[in-house]
């Protein structure tokens, strides 16, 4: 390979890796802050003063406030995919295989979440405002056992599994080992939460796993993205 091209490629990878990781951490922090200040309107954690009942047509008064966090979460997940691609490109030898699997799972996670949130933003939100609530309840984010919650559970479960492979794609520096352990613990917590809450609550799980998955995955992205940004700022590919 031409040394000049190799240097250019290394520089580009470091720059894109650092900035995508920084963007992931930023959007994770902001999205989490907005999400936790958006009160649940239905289900086990809803306050009686703001709770709404099926078919959730009364949610029109919460548009767009209750939907803002989704825009931020979509940006976070897209940045996460780019960051994962950079980690995969930086990996060498057998680690690249794990990076490829991690990138594939991260992309699948983003795709599921993007479809789920886009339906809320372009269909549910608009239909609520226009008073077109017929048949909308099963799709609504306010339905604690509806399509929205199911797809979100799937998306973040797959995202949690991707952490495991992303961890194995990282190098052997001290900073990368710390990052890998955070990702591995987080991946295990997501899986344990899914199995444990499903076993405990069965058909009445509602959005309990969704809340747990968001807390684990988003906080993990916030922490590990900062670490990955430091990795790219201080090292070179193949380290």
Q: Give the pLDDT of residue 9.
A: 57
pTM value is 0.93
Q: Give the pLDDT of residue 48.
A: 86
> If you average pLDDT over residues 123-148, what whole number do you get?
96
Closest CA to 125 of 70, 47, 54: 70
- The answer, yes or no, to whether residue 3 has pLDDT greater than 50, is no
Tell me how far apart the terminal alpha carbons of the chain are, to the nearest angstrom.
19
> If you average pLDDT over residues 113-134, what whole number do you get?
96
Q: What is the pLDDT of residues 180-216, one digit of tens each?
A: 999 999 999 999 999 999 999 999 999 999 999 999 9
Give the 3-state secondary structure percentages of the chain, helix then strand then coil, rounded to 5: 75, 0, 25
**How far is it, in rounded angstroms, from Cα 134 to Cα 198?**
30
**How far is it, in rounded angstroms, from Cα 116 to Cα 119?**
5
| Vertex 195: Cα angle to 181 and 31 (nearest 5) | 60
- Distance of CA 120 to CAs 53, 109, 136, 139, Å? 18, 17, 10, 8
């Amino acid at each position: 390979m031409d040394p000049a091209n190799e240097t250019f490629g290394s520089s580009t990878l470091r720059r894109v890796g650092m900035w995508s990781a920084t963007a992931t951490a930023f959007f994770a922090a902001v999205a989490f802050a907005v999400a936790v200040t958006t009160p649940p309107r239905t289900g086990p954690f809803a306050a009686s003063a703001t709770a709404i009942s099926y078919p959730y047509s009364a949610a029109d008064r919460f548009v767009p406030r209750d939907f803002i966090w989704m825009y931020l979460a979509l940006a976070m997940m897209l940045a996460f995919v780019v960051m994962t691609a950079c980690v995969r490109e930086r990996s060498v030898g057998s680690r690249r295989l794990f990076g490829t699997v991690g990138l594939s799972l991260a992309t699948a996670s983003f795709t599921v979440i993007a479809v789920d949130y886009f339906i809320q933003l372009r269909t549910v939100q608009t239909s609520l405002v226009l008073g077109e609530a017929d048949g909308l309840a099963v799709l609504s984010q306010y339905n604690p056992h509806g399509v929205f919650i199911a797809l979100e559970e799937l998306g973040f479960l797959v995202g949690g599994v991707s952490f495991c492979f992303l961890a194995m794609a990282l190098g052997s520096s001290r900073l990368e080992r710390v990052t890998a352990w955070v990702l591995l613990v987080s991946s295990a917590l997501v899986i344990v939460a899914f199995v444990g809450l499903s076993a405990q609550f069965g058909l009445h799980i509602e959005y309990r796993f969704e809340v747990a998955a968001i807390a684990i995955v988003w906080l993990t992205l916030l922490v590990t993205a900062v670490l990955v940004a430091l990795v790219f700022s201080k090292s070179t590919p193949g380290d």
